[in-house]
Structure 1
């Protein structure tokens, strides 16, 4: 402990939560049988060898061979404890650097998240000096200056910048900015469905209070259920939806943040309702009025209802300009994202296109599912052409979905960050490719998720002879159809590349503590 720091009283307990120690004791009391572990490894091999569309890209770009790693894991299962097994299988998928494709831990991990009860955001001084500030905290945990505006100095005795870097190395982001952003976000909030729990039961924090005093305190990890219906824990993302492009872990974090920190009025809307995914207001900057549309997620129930909601908002937006903000958006329903894009354009937008791997399993899927028939011929021809991807076709017709809806024709600017992922990547790509306006990024690139993701459960519906049922509610998600861009960027993949910002804005203290004042001023300047 620093000689200048004062020991604060221990943090209070987060309401409606369980201690991590108690939760793990429950897990360890009923371990996963060895036969179930073999079953999970075998299922993972089938998915990656036969249906994972990015396998050639990942082998080349990240020098990883997940199939061989699964073969080795299968031979070495016997001595592994249950936590070691989950960590090993998770690591195989993490090294793909693909947040679409992953192992989902079984009950009781499903539907739970470990949290410290507060959020941290970072900014840098003009000279580049980094700072990490508590931006949100549950009111029950406020004590001894640990409140909004407190600056973290160390995390378990490690300088906070280094702790974030170490945490980032364990994340599956496609690029350095994405991994670092996820390293910061998961410092205090970790979905247990998509990765092992924290090693420590509590965290020693060193911080500087808003008043300038140095203090230290211990904050326990607590476990909360994400969503419950009829007393049962639910997955926050549909498991049988065909049009998804989403980072499930980030959607879990979004819903937990919403439950803990959103104003009571915002919490009243269902998480997947348009009102729960979008907010809006009017900005007044340098004497001019602009609309501000914040899209937190595209994880909504339907494309048409979402497009109607967005259309009603932008119909009343000031004509002088519209700021569209998709920072932290983990993606969701691809048709909803592309339909919202169409509402922002006076002319028809060119959507992204999708292609399948040219494997036997992909061909069987294309033959059995009528919605996939358009890809059948090119997969068959791959035997002669040697192509690793099928032809690319659009997933949706945004113009048809939005028929009759008003359009916003004024100037627009899009704000992105390294956590804008999947359907949000697709939205940003469409915004840029269709020349709707400049893209202002708080990072150089978006999160770089370029695929339509399917669950093992959904694939079993169409490929029952290839895929069996998984034990204890465990699951997998896999990038099945890869996304490629349109117009001037035709055939350029989104995976691992993302969307490069036209202009870069590094967050300031006023952004973190003052409702993004400098960021929104920069966006307004681009509209001007």
Structure 2
């Protein structure tokens, strides 16, 4: 192998180097008093409002409250990067992408990226391969392009690198951790976790022509979304009906900005044309509709349902393939209303329940939309229940009243990155018998909750929660989701939705337009 290390001749557009970004962050360190405030706020959220605390203590053998007590006692010698890493690590051990620490400015809205994506496929002999599936054209050099196969990463075999990376991710089940370990190779949300330790990566790869080469690529930092001249969180902070992985929504928007066709980049990331796409696909001699839902991060359920209804009205009667791979979630009513557009009968939505703590009871009594939960929280003093009675957030039939429905055969495609409102959508698809679920992994991401921000909770609990410094924040799973019909009361958290059939991605899937995956879906439909 040649010892010459190639480098791209251009830098990633609209980005700055990780070194420069971190130097800017170090110019204004967080005072010690502010660190104490953040740790105290984290304890209140986890002890009083985190709905999954009993589950996480049992399933992952973790005690986040004790870890926060210890962190509070050991704050003084920690550098600022160490503090952010420690506090984020407490939440990461929960394996809950809804519930986490959000770093203060200037990390808000920024993502570290290498400018390309790595995807995994399995060849006919069962051997895994990891190839560049998408790349910004400015970085193409020395055969490092779509189809180049990675062999080592900073000198470590690529399989082992992904295993180590997966162990550091907060995915709630093994499939989810592996998928997130693969994606985090080249994309890291800086708002929801510490930046990469390395400033660049050294890669050994084989070109499509089979030549072995090396290259060195630097980490760069881009904003996911700009408003009023500054980087912003891509997820609303005061929305009450969200179920979303905010970090993965930020990386989704970076992927869209770097890799989507030019016409697909024009709409706003939250515009309907930016989150859903439709085409008619010819497969196995028949025509099928193909509906791709990239995210449910939209502003309202009714308008989204109307847009979806117009799309699926064009779908052939032979069948509709619905693909939610990589969907980080979003607006829960939009996800459940989308289910109703795909069903000829009323769908039964998932139920949500609160923790039975004193603060949850105060919230239920003060917020009119929560009062349905108050009596069962109050009764928990006698019953000992750790969760309140469950009630739906949405009436999908009412939201979609008067809209046409698609009643032909359907199939849903999921993966281990389908999370939160996408988990809810997949559970509703399966529980309401809309069709089979075809996964590229056995389980979806396993996010089962309605998530609220610290900022939103302060509106209703001002005496309990104070203001946080410098734009720092927390997100917390407040209401847990449980399934319906044949899976009544089964939680979505950690478990996700199990696929009826699994298709391992092939080289044609990764480098082309998912030809083998869609053919497998059509075979199940027919």
Separation in structure 2 between the aligned mates of residue 6 and residue 207 of structure 1, nearest angstrom: 13
1:121–1:5 CA distance, 2 compared to 1 (3 A): farther
For residue 42 of structure 1, what is the aligned residue in structure 2? 40
Secondary structure, aligned partner of 1:282: strand
For residue 383 of structure 1, what is the aligned residue in structure 2? 381
* Matched-pair contact (CA < 8 Å) for 1:11–1:217: no
Whether 2:102 is the aligned partner of 1:104: answer yes
TM alignment of 1:176-325, pairs within 5 A: 176-325=174-323
For residue 127 of structure 2, what is the aligned residue in structure 1? 129
Separation in structure 1 between the aligned mates of residue 229 and residue 74 of structure 2, nearest angstrom: 38
Kindly state the Cα deviation for residue 365 of structure 1 after the two structures are TM-superposed. Answer: 0.3
TM alignment of 1:17-96, pairs within 5 A: 17-96=15-94
Q: Deviations over 1:206-230 (max 9, x none)?
A: 1111111111011000011111112
Gaps spanning 5+ residues in structure 2: where?
Answer: none
Separation in structure 2 between the aligned mates of residue 260 and residue 253 of structure 1, nearest angstrom: 11
For residue 455 of structure 1, what is the aligned residue in structure 2? 453
1:330 equivalent among 325, 328, 331: 328
Separation in structure 2 between the aligned mates of residue 9 and residue 483 of structure 1, nearest angstrom: 48
* Matched-pair contact (CA < 8 Å) for 1:413–1:523: yes
Moved over 6 A (4+): none
Separation in structure 2 between the aligned mates of residue 311 and residue 245 of structure 1, nearest angstrom: 22
Kindly state the Cα deviation for residue 22 of structure 1 after the two structures are TM-superposed. Answer: 0.8
Separation in structure 2 between the aligned mates of residue 524 and residue 357 of structure 1, nearest angstrom: 43
Tell me which moved more, 9-18 or 157-166.
9-18
* Matched-pair contact (CA < 8 Å) for 2:5–2:216: no
Kindly state the Cα deviation for residue 4 of structure 1 after the two structures are TM-superposed. Answer: 5.2
Separation in structure 2 between the aligned mates of residue 527 and residue 19 of structure 1, nearest angstrom: 48
Tell me which moved more, 184-193 or 224-233.
224-233
Secondary structure, aligned partner of 2:425: helix
2:429 equivalent among 421, 428, 431: 431
Separation in structure 2 between the aligned mates of residue 349 and residue 6 of structure 1, nearest angstrom: 60
* Matched-pair contact (CA < 8 Å) for 2:8–2:139: no
Tell me the TM-score normalized by structure 1. 0.99
* Matched-pair contact (CA < 8 Å) for 1:352–1:484: yes
Q: Deviations over 1:213-248 (max 9, x none)?
A: 111011000011111112111110000000000011
Gaps spanning 5+ residues in structure 1: where?
Answer: none
* Matched-pair contact (CA < 8 Å) for 2:131–2:146: yes
Secondary structure, aligned partner of 1:476: strand
For residue 139 of structure 2, what is the aligned residue in structure 1? 141
Kindly state the Cα deviation for residue 286 of structure 1 after the two structures are TM-superposed. Answer: 1.7
Separation in structure 2 between the aligned mates of residue 47 and residue 362 of structure 1, nearest angstrom: 11
Tell me which moved more, 299-308 or 5-14.
5-14
Separation in structure 2 between the aligned mates of residue 446 and residue 477 of structure 1, nearest angstrom: 21
For residue 466 of structure 2, what is the aligned residue in structure 1? 468
Secondary structure, aligned partner of 1:388: coil
CA RMSD after TM alignment: 0.8
For residue 398 of structure 1, what is the aligned residue in structure 2? 396
Q: Deviations over 1:112-139 (max 9, x none)?
A: 1100001111111122211111111111
1:132–1:490 CA distance, 2 compared to 1 (3 A): same
TM alignment of 1:140-159, pairs within 5 A: 140-159=138-157
Whether 2:368 is the aligned partner of 1:370: answer yes
Q: Deviations over 1:346-400 (max 9, x none)?
A: 0000000000000000000000000000000000000000000000000010000
Separation in structure 2 between the aligned mates of residue 173 and residue 226 of structure 1, nearest angstrom: 22
The number of aligned residues is 526
Kindly state the Cα deviation for residue 463 of structure 1 after the two structures are TM-superposed. Answer: 0.2
Whether 2:498 is the aligned partner of 1:500: answer yes
Separation in structure 1 between the aligned mates of residue 313 and residue 21 of structure 2, nearest angstrom: 49
Separation in structure 2 between the aligned mates of residue 369 and residue 50 of structure 1, nearest angstrom: 17
1:122–1:112 CA distance, 2 compared to 1 (3 A): same
Separation in structure 2 between the aligned mates of residue 452 and residue 92 of structure 1, nearest angstrom: 21
Kindly state the Cα deviation for residue 5 of structure 1 after the two structures are TM-superposed. Answer: 6.3
For residue 342 of structure 1, what is the aligned residue in structure 2? 340
* Matched-pair contact (CA < 8 Å) for 1:113–1:226: yes
Tell me which moved more, 261-270 or 422-431.
261-270
For residue 483 of structure 1, what is the aligned residue in structure 2? 481
Tell me which moved more, 230-239 or 429-438.
230-239
Kindly state the Cα deviation for residue 7 of structure 1 after the two structures are TM-superposed. Answer: 2.9
Q: Deviations over 1:145-184 (max 9, x none)?
A: 1111111111111111111111111100001110010000
Kindly state the Cα deviation for residue 6 of structure 1 after the two structures are TM-superposed. Answer: 5.0
* Matched-pair contact (CA < 8 Å) for 1:5–1:214: no
Kindly state the Cα deviation for residue 12 of structure 1 after the two structures are TM-superposed. Answer: 2.7
Separation in structure 2 between the aligned mates of residue 340 and residue 120 of structure 1, nearest angstrom: 31
Q: Deviations over 1:377-428 (max 9, x none)?
A: 0000000000000000000100000000000000000000000000000000
1:164 equivalent among 148, 162, 165: 162
Secondary structure, aligned partner of 2:198: coil
Secondary structure, aligned partner of 1:260: helix
1:418 equivalent among 416, 419, 427: 416
